[in-house]
Amino acid sequence: MIAALGFLAALFSISLTWPQVWRSCRQGRTLGLSPTAGWLAVALNLCWLTFGVLIGDPAQIVTNSVVGVGNSAVLIALLLARPDLRTRRVLLRTASGAAGLVVLAVSSLAAVALRADAVAVAATLSSVISLVGAAAALPQPLSLLRDRTQDVSGLSAARYRLGVGSCASWTSYGWLIDQPGVWLSAGFGLCCALLMCALLRARRTGAPVRPVALRRIRTAAPRGALVAAAA
């Protein structure tokens, strides 16, 4: 049962990134994507891949190898579409956390190569990336909550619906194999994925708002003046 659940979690995770890859890379739509979230997604894939290698977990290895490619493609598409995100000042703000995670992954592999205990290193690594992974799920919904008028046409709703299934599966899988780092991070990700689904649904089904200035003109102007203006 545990192996089947791990396979299901891996299948969900492998599937969830490709709707966004299609939208961003094939259709060239990147509006609404958070660069910080993009950088962290790629770096976290690398860290979880390292964790999978250290504990010999095929589900983690396969999932994060494939998903890492998809997340990298989305990030590249975003950077190509937005030259302003490639400036040094912006990169320091958006990619510094991801750079720290890359250093952590490489350091963990180096420690094991120098004969450190792989299980202990993996436990430390999972503890750190679980906390960072939970925080990494926040930039995208927070960017939408901060700017209620932001264009979200570049965000794939299917990606977040699949994310709900993925996070729910990884939460159960991590609980069953007694890996708190896995299920805690996935559980928080589940909450953020549900929030994103709700935000995207509200943005795309909401009635268009008539400009305030136009409403005021139509309210203040006499009917005859409007008719004359139309003529």
Q: Per-residue pLDDT tens for 77-106? A: 999 999 999 999 999 999 999 999 999 999
Q: What is the dihedral of CA 142, 167, 96, 23, to 10 degrees?
A: -70
Quote the pLDDT of residue 91: 95
Quote the pLDDT of residue 220: 45
pLDDT at 212 over 70: no
Cα–Cα distance between 72 and 76 in angstroms, integer? 6
Q: Per-residue pLDDT tens for 117-151? A: 999 999 899 888 888 877 888 888 888 888 777 78
For residue 79 the two structure tokens come to: 């950077």
Quote the pLDDT of residue 205: 57
Quote the pLDDT of residue 215: 41
Handedness of CA 72, 78, 81, 86 (dihedral sign): negative
Report DSSP letters for 67-125, one per residue.
HHHHHHHHHHHHHHH-GGGGSHHHHHHHHHHHHHHHHHHHHHHHHHHTT--HHHHHHHH
Q: Per-residue pLDDT tens for 41-61? A: 999 999 999 999 999 988 789
